[in-house]
Amino acid sequence: MDTELVVLIILFIFIILLIFLMYIFLKRIVEKINKASKEYYLDKVQVYDSIIQEKEKKLNELNEEIARKKDNFENNNSNEEIINKDKNVSSLYDINVKKIDYQDENILQQVKKIDEKFTFDEEALIKSFVAKNVNNLNFTKYDELKKNRAKLISKVCYELSTKNSKEQETFLRGIFENNQEIVDTYMKKNKKMNIITFRQYLDRILVEEDPFVYVYVSDEKKNYNYLSKNILTIYDNKIYRGIMIKYKNKMYDFCIK
């Protein structure tokens, strides 16, 4: 009887030990999977960051090119030269049109109708839009948030993700020294700090705080930046007539593509 009891005790201890080893083994597997998932996500986010930076670079280059072309156009052409040029173009257009054999004789009439019905004062439209929709411009806060966002590169986020919630919160409050309300609002909604979801939250805040009105035009020579310090004109070769206005997270379409 004593022998059987000893065997049962040994067997019980063996089972407990086996369960403990399985727990340790599964815990390590979960940690590895979690680490691999974070690395995969951060790699994707890094690619996204690169795309955003590239688009911002191209946008700045495009705005500079538009400004240069506008200055050159104004400096190198007098009103008389512009009028003569228009007359020559018009004359050449009339001559060439007569030589073209159109399969569809109504095509010019259709284009003419579109032009007549889709002609409006773009400048007046932009002024009206800004007056009705744009207020409380805070360039300082927007610039600060952009600088703070630039500090949260993928490497930093990965290192933070290995720390606990309190350490992450302390680090971010150090970065957002002048905008503590950003961290406060996030913590009220989420209770615990998570750098991955916080960065997504910050991206949404940046869109909401963006003070710029982006005006997409069909002509490279058009530039409405002079109407307001928060207007950025962008040439879009897909637009045939009219303009598109992007403000915060909404697009207002006044064009034909």
- Mean pLDDT, the chain, as a whole number? 76
pLDDT in tens, 51-62: 666 666 666 676
pLDDT at 77 over 70: no
Q: Write the single-letter amino acid at 131.
A: A
Of 37-46, 155-164, 208-217, the range with the lowest mean pLDDT is 37-46
pLDDT at 97 over 50: no
- What's the mean pLDDT in 180-209? 90
Matching residue, tokens 């800004």: 130
Please state, for a pLDDT cut of 70, what percent of the chain lies above it.
65
Angle between helices 165-175 and 180-190 (to 10 degrees): 150
Order of strands across the sheet that contains 241-247: 231-235, 213-217, 241-247, 250-256
Winning range, highest mean pLDDT, from 2-6, 92-96, 202-206: 202-206
From 40, 31, 28, select the one nearest 158 (Cα to Cα). Answer: 40
Q: Rounded to two decimals, what is the model's pTM? A: 0.51
Is residue 82 classed exposed, middle or buried when 0-12, 13-18 and 19+ CB atoms within 10 A define those classes? exposed
- pLDDT given at position 86: 44
pLDDT in tens, 99-147: 444 445 565 566 666 666 666 788 888 888 888 888 777 788 888 888 9
- pLDDT given at position 39: 63
- What's the mean pLDDT in 23-51? 68
Name 167's Cβ contacts closer than 8 Å, sequence gap at least 6: 160
From 189, 159, 188, select the one nearest 171 (Cα to Cα). Answer: 159
pLDDT at 183 over 50: yes
Matching residue, tokens 């710029």: 212
Q: How far is CA 118 from CA 111, 122, 147, 242, in A?
A: 10, 11, 42, 7
Matching residue, tokens 């201890």: 13
